[in-house]
Amino acid sequence: METRINPMRNEVGSKWAKHIISSNNVITDSALPKAVQELVKIRASQINGCGGCLDMHTKDAAAAGESVVRINLVGAWRETTVYTEAERAALELTEQGTRLADSSGVTDEVWANAAKHFDEDQLMALVALICVINAFNRLNVITRTPGGEYQPGQLG
């Protein structure tokens, strides 16, 4: 696979990415648990087929101490016993928030379930995270940014 354009070596792309990364800092610094953050990034990236983001977030999750079992089972989270109820609620919200065109959006039931596990600030951070990872997934898929070369922590 050949990269179409390297966003980080393009003036407009690098400026845009700087702002998106900056907005992500608000999420990273929030009270939303770090494990939930990585699981959400992995699941959205799986759905969107983003090799660059999957490479980054699976490696970062492992480097942060996430177990190989939990990383490997994210795509089949419903059929496992390794995730908490809060993580399951976040993963379901991620799936519905990522697959907007495949349904009628996020159901009230899924929203209410997430709201049972996260306070308003955490819930807003979760929504913002779903938005940010989907933006990066789309950037990487459209430009054909490949996965495989990322080293944990390489981007800060």
Question: How high is the mean pLDDT of the chain?
Answer: 94
Report whether pLDDT(144) > 80. yes
According to the model, what pLDDT value does residue 154 have? 74
- For the question of whether the overall pTM of this predicted structure is more than 0.85, the answer is yes
Choose between 40 and 6: higher pLDDT: 40
> What integer is the mean pLDDT of 24-44?
96
Query: What's the chain look like in SS3?
Result: CCCCCCHHHCHHHHHHHHHHHHHHHHHHCCCCCHHHHHHHHHHHHHHHCCHHHHHHHHHHHHHCCCCHHHHHCHHHHHHCCCCCHHHHHHHHHHHHHHCHHHCCCCCHHHHHHHHHHCCHHHHHHHHHHHHHHHHHHHHHHHHCCCCCCCCCCCCC
Go through the domains of the chain in sequence order and give each one's CATH number.
Answer: 33-143 (1.20.1290.10)
pLDDT in tens, 1-23: 788 988 888 999 899 989 998 99
According to the model, what pLDDT value does residue 156 have? 62
According to the model, what pLDDT value does residue 136 have? 94
Give which of 125, 114, 120, 129 is closest to 44, Cα–Cα: 129
pLDDT in tens, 43-88: 999 999 999 999 999 999 999 999 999 999 999 999 999 999 999 9
**Confidence band for 103, pLDDT divided at 50, 70 and 90:** confident
Non-local (6+) Cβ contacts of 133 within 8 A are: 40, 41, 44, 45, 53
